Structure 1
């Protein structure tokens, strides 16, 4: 994944006059808010920048999303809406500066191979990741054209508030505003997707990283019940915050501006200044480990909050109690989740015994976790142990535990692992976090994640083959609930390993599974 600023996302990065030239054949659909004109591109109808809620600014700043007001005439839906305010990760804040003053953040985009109320196609709604601090549906890696055209599905992407705007615990504001935005987008899908050729009774949410964590949270909240029938969670992150921890982090963000963490104090603060305050807190997390614990060690300032209202309990507890029993689940992770971060942080080849021991003491489960890891992986050197425990704590075991909680409660889950190693950049990334994104969308030549694949012909051919397997599985699951391999059970643990030759095996990370078998992923607390 490149550290450069993101490239423009197709015809136009944000709303405005950009977009394809108008044609008499451009599709027009009627929504509850008014008429929309899209465009025909690459064999599908595309509608961009459709508002699903009022802009969350002014009197609506830090409020739950409000239904969008209607419009007269035909609204052009040909350019992506502006992104919500972004953190500075990977240069994403440059997009926020470019779109400054355009506050219509809450928009959806639709790709349909057959727009019209009679098509009845499966619907796939993407929730992007980005550590709950970055993410925009208009990025080129999330272009839904190929998935829609070749998979015979309607693809929907949308923006939701991130960082302080979406997840800070503020006095006078509802918690988890980013999740409430997601629910509002799914309500828009329920109420209007039929006009775009979709079947509102066959909706699959799919997402990666923070998007997968968001879906796990949606499974746990009654507010999202009935809005989707299937869910695909790619690399579910384990961290969810207790309210006290989230409130303390929010207070630190407000303190950067010499303000209180209240709606009254922050409503009139420029969104770019508020995002910068969040960045400043994130950059100083190493000074706060005694108070904030593991999130500070991993530079994580925001996550969904188990507030008891929007999110009553953690996803693992909720699914274990049957909350997701009526939703079919496809869940998995990559084999080498941590490798992306090891490379980005300049640690590849530089993890010594001391750093590995610190990671094992901090992140391994149980009071004797370090010794148990070393016993379970006797041939592993310091770097491998470091990457194993981080991969397990952050993504691999939270994903597996979500599937196990679902099946224990009588629900259905299919499990996978991406084992194919990224060939780009000399192959140093392996089967790392984020590699699944270009494979799922089939966008192997655009967006930052495509750099993991590279431009060599043989690498691109391998990626095309693996991507075809993955896309076929995802769209088959969306269509009828069967991705092509048996559902997970506690005895056989069938797991699809996606590689150049996909195979179904018992869950392959057995040593890690046993180490984490008795661990509960609880909300992370404020320590002092």
Structure 2
């Protein structure tokens, strides 16, 4: 939403929810009017005795509740300083809330398709208050958008003796249950819900796709650059013990509850950064995965997401999945001078790749190899964390309706099709704050039209507009301003890693 002073003078929209009425605000586009309702709580504040509890239904209110500004965020300031997407931290306790963008507020007969978006941030940061997560363009296309918050880091995903596991996952489920109850009042159809997310949010929607307990809550999934958690119980126990040791408290609910949330965030960051030098840290990430995120707890998550999906869970739901070409190459690019004379095979070996895999990987990535060792290492990290997962999930789905894509347009500022660069195109918000800091000046509107158009088509009709992987294994849509629109084997470069 844009400057309140420039909005048309009209009565503010009011919608009745089962907990009470909420007052929103109108957007600026007179040709496609839409309303936003911001910071609507879907659960009680997770503070005090509820801090490490499963989400508890919100208490009803009587007066009309103002929903014209973003609600409090689980993210706190220091964690957000280096994010590629502007994701502001908002103080306050009522951090479990949703933002709704709709062209038909209060029209219970509209039954428009619904998009529910889960933000990324490595499961430790991110905010639904980003100007990039504005659903105005989707509302223009006849879609109701809901952007959700959830508990982050240790509060959301840490293993705590005496507390329910996967509290952040339970927040996703509670938000989706809210959508089932309330979205009709905002003009949406609870039987036509697409869940989508990027990075950790992409991992979140895949987690939900593979979760038997979530199947009644949505019909379609779009995963942008998904980063799965799938944290093992042993790893969760280990990082919880490290955190308790650093804090000097017992690894129990009472012990962790005695810590100020900001202190816990700092200690959590210290645990995440253990590993010393950058190469060691990267190798640890590749070997062990993320320290925080959805955990295989034997309750909500019985097995890893790829295994669950391969077993047929979620096979009745349509999936679009893809990544950018060089998610993390800009990070290794900083070391290109130091790596200039290091053979790529040696560098890959230092990251733990065996000789046989190296041979195949170098053969499949000859073009990237020609750009230097730093470029090849960046591609390898991108492939390991994000891109091979696209091919693995698509293959695991077999005949289930699945479409794959790559975002290949390179930032004119950074020089790569890097992590997060696709998000403002997907939302069609190229005019928003800090987009040009990531994309460079004058990002191509035609690319936003293509990617956002595919997303809207998928949410509305279940088809993004190109041949599916399930019908033609390997078939991939390439989002760029040059070259073919689709290619036969778009993820051939990760073959050696599968």
TM-score (norm. length: structure 2): 0.90
Instruction: State the Cα distance separating 1:19 from its structure 2 match.
Output: 10
Deviates more, 1:370-379 or 1:470-479: 370-379
Instruction: Pick closer, same or farther for the CA change 1:112–1:291 going to 2, 3 Å.
Output: closer
Match of residue 389 from structure 2:
398
Name the structure 1 match of 2:406: 417
* Structure 1 residues not aligned, in runs of 5+: 1-8, 12-17, 520-528
Please give the per-residue CA displacement for 1:485-506, whole angstroms capped at 9, x wherever unaligned.
1111375522111112561111
Determine the C-alpha separation between the residues in 1 that align with 2:266 and 2:2.
Answer: 27
Q: Distance in 1 between matches of 2:19 and 2:446?
A: 42
Q: Alpha carbons of 1:499 and 1:21: their partners in 2 closer, same or farther (altered >3 Å)?
A: closer
Q: Deviations over 1:138-184 (max 9, x none)?
A: 011112212322x2100110111111111111111222211110111
Partners of 1:96 and 1:378 in 2: CA distance: 37
| 1:196 corresponds to 2:178 | no
The answer for the alignment partner of 2:489 in structure 1 is 507
Aligned partner of 2:15 in structure 1 is 29
Cα distance between partner residues in 2 of 1:500 and 1:164: 41
1:60 matched to 2:50: yes
Q: 1:54 to 1:396 in 2, by over 3 A?
A: same
Given that 1:415 and 1:488 are in contact with CA atoms closer than 8 Å, whether structure 2 keeps it comes out as yes
Query: Which of residues 42, 55, 66 is equivalent to 1:76?
Result: 66
Give runs of aligned pairs for residues 258-297 of structure 1, distance below 5 A. 258-286=248-276, 294-295=284-285
Q: Are 2:487 and 1:497 aligned?
A: no
Kept in 1, the 8 Å contact 2:332–2:374? The answer is no
Tell me if the contact between 1:220 and 1:312 (Cα under 8 Å) persists in the aligned partners. Answer: no
User: 5+ unaligned residues in a row in structure 2: which ranges?
Assistant: none
TM-score, normalized by length of structure 1? 0.85
1:156 counterpart SS class: strand
Q: How many Å separate the matches in 1 of 2:56 and 2:5? A: 27
Q: Deviations over 1:214-244 (max 9, x none)?
A: 1111112122111010000011125521111
8 Å CA contact 1:444–1:453 kept in 2: the answer is: no
- Is the 1:285–1:296 contact (alpha carbons within 8 Å) kept by the matching residues of 2? no
Alpha-carbon shift at residue 90 of structure 1 (Å):
4.3
How many residues end up aligned between the 2 structures?
Answer: 487
CA contact (8 A) 2:88 2:130 kept: no
Tell me how far apart the structure 1 counterparts of residues 51 and 416 of structure 2 sit (CA, whole Å): 42
Which structure ranks higher in relative contact order (CA pairs < 8 Å, sequence separation ≥ 6)? 1
* Distance of 2:330 and 2:27 partners within structure 1: 33
Q: Is the 8 A contact 1:418 1:497 kept in 2?
A: yes
Mapped to 1, the partners of 2:448 and 2:376 lie a distance apart of 29
Residues 243 and 384 of structure 1: is their aligned pair in 2 closer, same or farther, counting only changes over 3 Å? same
Shift of 1:313: 1.1
| Structure-to-structure mapping, 1:94-173, within 5 angstroms | 99-100=90-91, 102-115=92-105, 116-149=107-140, 151-173=141-163
2:359 aligned residue: 371
Taking structure 1 as reference, are residues 505 and 75 closer, same or farther at Cα in structure 2, changes over 3 Å only?
same
The correspondence of residues 424-439 of structure 1 with structure 2, limited to 5 A, is: 425=413, 428-439=414-425
Q: Is the 8 A contact 1:239 1:295 kept in 2?
A: no
Tell me whether 1:249 sits opposite 2:235 in the alignment. no
